[in-house]
Amino acid sequence: MSELPWIVWVVLTPLAGALLAFLWPAQGVRVALLAGLGTGVAVLGLSLQLAQLGAQRYAVGAWDPPLGISLYADGLTAVMLLMTLLVFAPTLVYARAYFKQTAHLFWSLGLFLWAALNALFLSGDVFNLYVTLELLGLSAVALTALGGQSQALVAAYRYLLASLLGSLSYLLGVGLLYAEYATLDLQTLGQVIGLDPASAVALALMATGMLLKTALFPLHFWLPPAHASAAAPVSALLSGLVVKGSLYLLLRLWLEFFPETTVPASSLILGLLGAGAVVWGSWQAIRARRLKFLVAYSTVAQLGYPFLAFPLLAAGWDALAALVYFMLSHAAAKAAMFLAAGSVLRAFGQDRLAELHGLLRVLPLSVAAFILAGISLIGLPPSGGFVAKWLLLEAAFATGQWGWALVTLLGTLLAAGYVFRILTRALEDTTLSDRPSPVPRSMELTALLLAVASLLLGLVALPVLGLLEVGR
């Protein structure tokens, strides 16, 4: 069991599924669910393997780096893979009810996206990272366009341009680094890199590209329309996972190049931008008129939190744990919210907040999902968001930088502001304006499942953080 190369299957299974689903669209649903099952087994297998044996390196085709492609998995990778699995599995089930007959492409594109994400998390060199990043971006744009309406197409186009700009910026940085150090392997680079002008420009290019792709304030402009106009399961994947891909990449670079290249000021910039994101995104979410925009702006805000942890990373493990836990809990909670928002759209035909009369009566389970996921977003105990905030605050106090703690708390209050807007709407006891369309139970349940998961993440912090420590 522990001898199997799970690390390869983690990428190959969804990739094969994507190809099959593309070639055999009529059976797309079944293929996707089977591939999802397989990927899940592979991810769990890999995680167990990691927990038992420590970090894994695998050279594809037995070519050693710097020549061949190497896959690398440590605790951070495993947590990311599990996060992807956590979001993907319910989303596929949800999509089965959501898409009915249309959108065959979703299955292949979705699985392709999964493969790209997993590959991104497992890539051990900077060029492979670029390739997977590009694949991830393209499949995400394609999925966004799947919605088909003009709105979605415009948003997808904008998304495409932003995504390309980010990737190219990153590629430029990779080129500079290669010219300088003649290696692409992350760990090798980490050992040799210094702070000469060329490296500095390269690092800045790579980082800024990732910031754009992660939609960090003030480069977030593309995100709300794209996430809000995509189909619900797509939105869940985009908000829950895709932005985490580039964030993960940035974190990897940061960790690998850490002692040599980090200067306090650059982490300070990230922290400040994160703070800006928290405040601005939350404020926009509070002002949003449409449910999906509210949720999308909430993503902008929530993506600020991990960046608050960057200035604290130097202090030690707590900050990294906080950062990862933010990603994790946000992935589950945000996916739950978008899925629930999809149910709302299905039921009411629109999602203007002012017109969602009788929400609780029509969709009690979705409202429950909203509330539970919202609790995690606000960071109230015992949710995953709370654990993340707790760790972040601890790190902030331990290093004496309690300014970040204040931003976190401000974000908590603002998040409560927009989450409770939904709850208030739900509790209003007005009569229904018109007959809502029926919503399949599986759609509501999957959203609720994710929301409960985001809540329970707070109670399983110890094993998750234990896994995160593998290979550090």
Partner 1 sequence: MTEALLLLTPGLPLLLALAMVFPGWRAAVVWLAPWAVLPALGLLVLGDLELKLPWLLLGSHFGSDALSRGLLLLSAPLWLLASIYAQSYLAHDPHKHRFFAFFLLAAAGNLGALVAQDAVSFYLFFALMSFAAYALVIHDGRAASLFAGRVYIVLVLVGETFLLGGLLLWASLVGGLEMARVLHPQDWQGQLALVLLFLGFGVKAGVLGLHVWLPLAHPAAPTPASAVLSGAMIKLGVLGWLRFLPPGLDWGPVLIALGLTAAFYGVAAGLLQHNPKTLLAYSSISQMGLITLGVGLGLAVPELWPAAVSAVLFLVLHHGWAKGALFLSTGLKPGPSWAVKALLVLPALSLAAAPLTSGSLAKTQLDALAQTTPWAEPLGLLLSLSSVATTLLMVRFLALVWPQPEAKSARSAGLLVGWLGLVSGSVALAWWPQPAIFLAPEKILAAAWPVLLGTALAWGAYRLGLSKALRLPGWLAPSVPRPGQRVLSRLENHLAALLKATQSLKQTGFDRLAKPPPPPKILPIGWVMVGVLFLGLLLLQVLVLLL
Partner 2 sequence: MNEGGLVLLAILLTSLVPGLVIFFLAEASVLLRTVINLAGAVLKLLLVLWTMHQVGQGVIYELRWPFLPGLDLVLRADHLAVFFGLLSAGLWLLTTLYAVGYLEGSPNRSRFFGFFSLCVFSTTGIAFAGNLHTFFIFYELLTITTYPLVVHRGTAAAFQAGRIYLAYTLGGGAVLLLGVVWLSVLAGPVDFTQVGILEAVYTQQPSTLVLVFALLVAGLGVKAALFLLHSWLPIAMVAPAPVSALLHAVAVVKAGAFGVVRVVYDVYGVGLLARLELDLPLALWAAMTILYGSLMALRQDDLKRRLAYSTVSQISYIVLGVALLGPLGTVGGLAHLVHQGLMKITMFMCAGIFSEVHNVKKVSQMAGMGRRMPWTMAAFSLTALGMIGLPPLVGFYSKWYLALGALESPYPAFALVLLASSLLNAAYFLPILYAAWFVAPSAELPRASRPGQETSWMLLLPPMVTSLLVLGMGLLAASPFSPLVWAIRFAQGEHGP
Give bridge partners of residue 58 from the DSSP assignment. 71
**Does 156 sit near partner 1 (CB under 8 A)?**
no
Give bridge partners of residue 56 from the DSSP assignment. 73
Judged by CB under 8 A, the chain residues 124 through 143 that form the site for partner 2 are none
Minimum distance, C-beta of residue 424 to partner 2, in the bound complex (Å): 6
> DSSP state, 230?
S
Q: Whose Cβ is closer to partner 2: residue 259's or residue 400's?
A: 400
Q: Whose Cβ is closer to partner 1: residue 21's or residue 215's?
A: 215
Q: Whose Cβ is closer to partner 1: residue 413's or residue 459's?
A: 413
Among 1, 67, 265, 462, indicate the residue that binds partner 1 (CB under 8 A).
265
CA-to-CA distance for 363 and 206, rounded, in angstroms?
Answer: 44
Among 165, 360, 398, 452, indicate the residue that binds partner 1 (CB under 8 A).
165
**Does 208 sit near partner 1 (CB under 8 A)?**
yes
| Residue 169 interaction partner, one of partner 2, partner 1, none, beta carbon < 5-8 Å per kind | partner 1
Among 117, 393, 407, 449, indicate the residue that binds partner 2 (CB under 8 A).
393
Minimum distance, C-beta of residue 250 to partner 1, in the bound complex (Å): 12
Query: Considering CB under 8 A, how many residues would be counted as binding partner 2?
Result: 36
Q: Coil, strand or helix: which one is 123?
A: strand
> DSSP state, 125?
B
Query: Helices 75-99 and 461-468 meet at what angle, rounded to 10?
Result: 120
Among 263, 406, 427, 432, indicate the residue that binds partner 1 (CB under 8 A).
263
The answer to whether the beta carbons of residues 368 and 328 sit under 8 Å apart is no
Minimum distance, C-beta of residue 54 to partner 1, in the bound complex (Å): 33
Q: Whose Cβ is closer to partner 1: residue 155's or residue 162's?
A: 162
| Residue 29 interaction partner, one of partner 1, partner 2, none, beta carbon < 5-8 Å per kind | none
Question: How many Å separate Cα 159 from the centre of its chain?
Answer: 16
Judged by CB under 8 A, the chain residues 387 through 426 that form the site for partner 1 are 421
61: left (phi over 0), alpha (psi -120 to 50) or beta: left
The answer to whether the beta carbons of residues 386 and 465 sit under 8 Å apart is no
Distance in angstroms between the alpha carbons of the first and the last residue of the chain: 24
Q: Coil, strand or helix: which one is 192?
A: helix
Minimum distance, C-beta of residue 398 to partner 2, in the bound complex (Å): 5
CA-to-CA distance for 144 and 234, rounded, in angstroms?
Answer: 7
Per-residue x/- mask for partner 2, residues 335 to 374, rule CB under 8 A?
-------------------------x---x---x------
Residue whose token pair is 């998995």 = 73
CA-to-CA distance for 278 and 227, rounded, in angstroms?
Answer: 18
Q: Whose Cβ is closer to partner 1: residue 208's or residue 442's?
A: 208
| CA angle 139–141–146, rounded 5-degree value | 95
Contacts of 87 (CB under 8 A, 6+ apart): 236, 237, 240, 241, 331, 332, 335, 450
Q: Whose Cβ is closer to partner 2: residue 266's or residue 401's?
A: 401
Among 372, 392, 393, 349, residue whose Cα is nearest residue 448: 372
At 241, list the tokens.
């996972």
Whether the CA torsion 249, 250, 256, 257 is positive or negative: it is positive
At 151, list the tokens.
């709105």
| CA angle 174–178–183, rounded 5-degree value | 115
Judged by CB under 8 A, the chain residues 405 through 444 that form the site for partner 2 are 405-406, 409-410, 412-413, 416, 420, 423-424, 427-430
At 256, list the tokens.
């690998």
Give bridge partners of residue 72 from the DSSP assignment. 57
| Residue 18 interaction partner, one of partner 2, partner 1, none, beta carbon < 5-8 Å per kind | none
Candidate ranges 4-12, 44-52, 145-153, 202-210; the one touching partner 1 (CB under 8 A)? 202-210
CB-side exposure of 219: number of CA atoms within 13 Å?
A: 20
H/E run at residue 57: strand 56-59
Per-residue x/- mask for partner 1, residues 218 to 257, rule CB under 8 A?
xx-x------------------------------------
| Residue 409 interaction partner, one of partner 2, partner 1, none, beta carbon < 5-8 Å per kind | partner 2
Q: What is the DSSP string of 71-88?
A: EEE-HHHHHHHHHHHHHH
**Does 169 sit near partner 1 (CB under 8 A)?**
yes
| Residue 266 interaction partner, one of partner 1, partner 2, none, beta carbon < 5-8 Å per kind | partner 1
Q: Whose Cβ is closer to partner 2: residue 121's or residue 418's?
A: 418
Judged by CB under 8 A, the chain residues 420 through 459 that form the site for partner 1 are 421
Query: Considering CB under 8 A, how many residues would be counted as binding partner 1?
Result: 29
Binding site for partner 1 (CB under 8 A): 162, 165, 169, 195, 197, 200-201, 203-205, 207-208, 211-212, 218-219, 221, 261, 263, 265-266, 269, 283-284, 286-289, 421
Binding site for partner 2 (CB under 8 A): 360, 364, 368, 375, 378, 380-382, 386-387, 389-391, 393-394, 397-398, 402, 405-406, 409-410, 412-413, 416, 420, 423-424, 427-430, 459, 461-462, 465
